[in-house]
Structure 1
Amino acid sequence: EGAYGWVTVNYVLENFIKYSFMGRWLSPGRPTVGALDFGGASTQITFATQQLVEDGQSTKKLRLYGQDYSLYTHSFLCYGKDQFLKALLAHVVKSQLYSQAVTHPCYPADYSKTLKMGKLFNSPCVLQHKPVPFNPEVILTVRGGGNYEYCVGNVSGIFSFGSCAHSRCSFNGVFQPEITGRFMAFSAFFYIHTFLQQITGITVNSPQQLEDAAKTVCSKTFSQMMLLAPKEESRIQDYCASSVFMRTLILKGYGFDNSSFPLISFQKKAGDTSVGWALGYMLSLSNLLPAESVAVRKALTLGAWGTLVFLTVGLLVVILAFLLLRSRCGTTKRRDESAI
């Protein structure tokens, strides 16, 4: 999935091959762009690297348009937006000893909701937090705490930054080489980044700005955010947690810093095309990404040009004949009228 997202981004941005206005396929000679995807159930990071990938399951070799690409790609299941939010709430409930009324530090201070335990613990991503014995009919009341520091602590508890059997890791013991080059962040990354800038007025182009924006969002009440973003009512309570998660994942997990974070472009679309893994998958299945380089050729073959020229000349001859015929008929008619 991550590799197909990478293919989509670079295909749409014409980093593999470009069709010039002169009707020729050209190699643009540009470096590829890494892909950061944040879906509902998982998050992916994919980028081209010349470094040794110590985990064979996190590497993929591609040959496209005569060029060889060595990719690092990894998909973190249960770290998509929906599953992460569920796991975070389960973690909060567990840390507060499965009380029927808990305080969620990432929810706005004036926000509360109720739900059944069965609705919370219905995913494989939260099994480690599931109480024993378990009664799915128990009603849970969750109240917002609006505390940024506690939110960071609880979100960090969803990650494991300790053990690493490789020379370096991102999190959960997963090997990751040093990030290189530019990246495009899409899916939920784009919406969170846009929301942060809209609510706080902070241009999020650096790690410090990301932290400042997250702090600002987490300090606002539900009512305050509703005034600034009324269309986000159904999910506005989740933006503090999502912002802290994005900060933790990108900076502490993937290892972006002051020099590399500005190289991330948060985009909904690449050009006029929505970004996702599906297009890359379909391109691969339909063989529209050939392994060998495409021969430089004109937009139309010689035979096609000849056919078009023949049809054009024939059409012109018919039009001229029609005009001459009308002209002669008109002249004859005028002569007849004069004779009368």
Structure 2
Amino acid sequence: MDEPKAAKQKKTWHKKVIIFLGALFVLGVISLVAIAVVQNKPLPKNIKYGIVLDAGSSHTSVYIYEWPAEKENDTGVVQQINECKVEGNGISSYGHEPLKAGLSLQKCMNKARQVIPEKQQRETPVYLGATAGMRLLRLTNATMAEEVLSSVENTLRSFPFDFQGARIITGQEEGAYGWITINYLLGNFIQDSGWFKYIPNFKPTETSGALDLGGASTQITFESKREIESQENSLHFRLYGKSYDIYTHSFLCYGKDQALRLQIANSIKDATDSILLDPCFNSGYRRNASTNDLYSSPCISKLRIPTAPSTLDIRGTGNYQLCKRNVQAIFNRTHCTYSHCSFNGVFQPSLDGTFGAFSAYYFVMNFLNLTNEQMSLDKVKETVERHCSRPWDEVKKDFPKIKEKYLSEYCFSGTYILNLLEYGYGFSSENWNDIRFLGKIKDSDAGWTLGYMLNLTNMIPAELPYSPPLSHAGYTGLMVFFSILLVCIILTCWLSFRKPKCLHKGII
């Protein structure tokens, strides 16, 4: 009678073991899946943001950048994610109404608040760099310039960002940061980015030179293989683990707007009864200009003629050759105390390598359809001359959507660019095709602001990237452990339900 009782006890014991093993198996499967899911889930992006305001002579633009917190060779991999053009003129135009300078920035800064995540706004640095327009205002009236900067600072401090300062950057800085931008976009710092492939037929050298043309100044910057005889034109950078020594110079008063003023001021002596026949405007074009306004610029004030009429009636004649002569007259190439100069006695080593030309260079040449393919210098000259010879009514009819001020000045601007590059800097038909006119590459504007951010990130500490909860060894160990545990449970259950024949030998 004891045998059935023993069998019953054994069956009960087996049932408890099976339940225990089943529960352990389920727990093991859950643990295995949970570890795999948690360890392999997508890691959050550790992104930093920065804002740079380019306060130029004609307008202000707000650029928003982002980069991974874990930097590459101590320099952030920065890319532009948004741009906003401030309505109205540049901040230097508000010298008599400085409060309006700050107010003009509000709309674009509110847009920046929408782009950058709220939780990261407090740590997002904001910089404003004012260029040649403010340099000229400071020369004219330093108090006005300070009041404008103060107004801008007050506005930027009112936003929930980490305001780092507003200042007038030097021409050398503007040129150098533009050089950094161009070489970053062309892939010369991180070659596997391959961004230069977006520019047809462009094979960059080790680095590419930068040509920047604004409204009030122009910059030339490149890495020279020759000695830089003027130390004020020499700069040193360290980016992506490599050092660079470059030549740079900024010509204040030689941006296209101030150059046009220079050309007109030089021609006033030829005016008859307040009428100035100007070959740099299309025939049939007319505009009135105040000589008081013309001479108000420190670039032009030294050219004031006491007998100049108060108002000029400027009438275009559309003569490229005469315009070229007038433009060349604003460059002084009569003296040079160095082995080689560009113009106005400024040292410049011989041109080396390829060059990227941007800002007004691009906008003007793009209008003239001279940016899309390689063209000889003679062909480019023919195109500009053909545009200058067109009647103004015909030009207006073909381009009704372009503002008259800009449209009327393309003849002068095209002529000026050709002479600045050839007569001023020394480009020729042999190396003309080393120049590429650049607007945007991979959604980033060519300009000094991106280079400014790249250089700025050298001062921002790198952070460790987000990593999975477990180390690779810990993750592998746990996965192996739970896998073996599951195999053991399955094997134990199999042995419990199906005993091998060897275990039946002792049974009669």
With the shorter chain as reference, the TM-score category is: 0.7 to 0.9
Q: 1:224 aligns with which of 380, 391, 394?
A: 394
Distance 1:61 1:241, change over 3 A: same
Letter in 2 for 1:182: T
SS state at 1:171 partner: coil
**Mapped partners of 1:202, 1:20: distance in 2:** 22
How many equivalent residue pairs?
A: 292
SS state at 1:162 partner: coil
Letter in 1 for 2:189: F
CA contact (8 A) 2:205 2:354 kept: no
Find the counterpart in structure 1 of residue 184 from structure 2: 11
Find the counterpart in structure 1 of residue 487 from structure 2: none
> Does 2:434 align with 1:263?
yes
> Does 2:225 align with 1:50?
yes
**Mapped partners of 2:239, 2:189: distance in 1:** 7
Q: 1:239 aligns with which of 410, 413, 422?
A: 410
Find the counterpart in structure 1 of residue 299 from structure 2: 125
Distance 1:249 1:204, change over 3 A: farther
Find the counterpart in structure 2 of residue 172 from structure 1: 344
CA contact (8 A) 2:262 2:300 kept: yes
Distance 1:105 1:46, change over 3 A: same
CA contact (8 A) 1:183 1:263 kept: yes
Find the counterpart in structure 2 of residue 33 from structure 1: 208
**Mapped partners of 2:280, 2:325: distance in 1:** 10
CA contact (8 A) 2:188 2:207 kept: yes
TM-score w.r.t. the length of structure 1 is 0.78
**Mapped partners of 2:438, 2:193: distance in 1:** 25
**Mapped partners of 2:247, 2:193: distance in 1:** 31
Letter in 2 for 1:242: S
Find the counterpart in structure 2 of residue 107 from structure 1: 281
Cα distance per residue 1:83-110 (max 9 Å; x no partner): 111221111113437x411111111110
**Superposition deviation, residue 68 in structure 1:** 2.1
> Does 2:467 align with 1:304?
yes
Distance 1:223 1:134, change over 3 A: closer
**Mapped partners of 1:6, 1:82: distance in 2:** 22
Distance 1:14 1:253, change over 3 A: same
**Superposition deviation, residue 153 in structure 1:** 1.0
**Superposition pairs of residues 1-340 of structure 1, within 5 angstroms:** 1-18=174-191, 31-96=206-271, 99-132=273-306, 138-197=310-369, 205-234=375-404, 235-287=406-458, 304-307=467-470
**Superposition deviation, residue 171 in structure 1:** 0.9
Whichever of the two has the greater Rg, that structure is 2
Distance 1:49 1:107, change over 3 A: same
**Mapped partners of 2:460, 2:401: distance in 1:** 40
**Mapped partners of 1:177, 1:270: distance in 2:** 28
Cα distance per residue 1:145-200 (max 9 Å; x no partner): 111221111111111122111111111111111111111110010111112227xx
CA contact (8 A) 2:209 2:221 kept: yes
Letter in 2 for 1:129: L
CA contact (8 A) 2:295 2:304 kept: yes
**Superposition deviation, residue 218 in structure 1:** 1.3
Residue identity (%): 39
- Larger relative contact order (Cα-Cα within 8 Å, sequence gap ≥ 6): 1
CA contact (8 A) 1:283 1:289 kept: no
**Mapped partners of 1:174, 1:207: distance in 2:** 25
Q: Which runs of 5+ in 2 are unaligned?
A: 1-173, 195-203, 479-508
CA contact (8 A) 1:9 1:270 kept: no
Q: Which runs of 5+ in 1 are unaligned?
A: 22-28, 295-299, 314-340
**Mapped partners of 1:3, 1:281: distance in 2:** 9
**Superposition deviation, residue 252 in structure 1:** 1.5
Distance 1:202 1:270, change over 3 A: closer
**Mapped partners of 2:181, 2:460: distance in 1:** 11
Distance 1:213 1:36, change over 3 A: same
Letter in 2 for 1:37: D
